[in-house]
Amino acid sequence: MAQAEQHRLDLGDEDLQTRATHETAYWIERARDITGASARRLPVPAVAFDLRGRSAGQAIFARRSRDCRIRINAALLESHPQEMLAETVPHEVAHVVIYRLYGRRARPHGKEWKALMRAFGVDPAPCHTLPTEPVRQLKRFRYQCACAEDAWLTSIRHRRAQQGTDYVCRRCGEKLVRAAESADT
């Protein structure tokens, strides 16, 4: 693989989402240079800014058409533009490139992906370190069994239990039963 050149990020006046889209095209072009792949084999993926929560980015692959797209967390892009453009965009582009070149044979953060990230000149860290807030805090409901300790089910599992799904204690194996309502959090 070719030696990585230093890529400068100048945020300037350009809209961050437009900039992220341009950065995606830049990294795809770099990947073509590094791997020798054609534009047909490595097309620029569509970029959406609809990702929420703690994830900074996500690469989406369509199995049959082999089309790829990238989702970026717009809130994190707004609050941490430098890190998102310098780390997250090449990270997700590398996933797209490895998928287009190797298919599902290659592991998501495997040796091929790490080698491409190093060729990009970006640290091949599998996760970002940006501070994030949880999207939602699920309410928890108290359940009991034969054990001395209470078991807690999230609102999702509580609703399923109300609809007939049985949950059992991991320790004693007994069916969990809804406890008094006063102690729910």
Return the active site residues: 92
The structure tokens listed for 169 are 């204690």
Residue indicated by tokens 């199995």: 63
Q: Are strands 140-144 and 46-51 parallel, antiparallel or unpaired?
A: unpaired
The structure tokens listed for 148 are 């001395």
Collect all residues with Cβ–Cβ distance below 8 Å to 123 and sequence separation of at least 6.
87, 117
The closest alpha carbon to 96, from 137, 48, 45, belongs to: 45
CA separation, residue 98 to residues 21, 32, 55, 181 (Å)? 19, 11, 20, 51
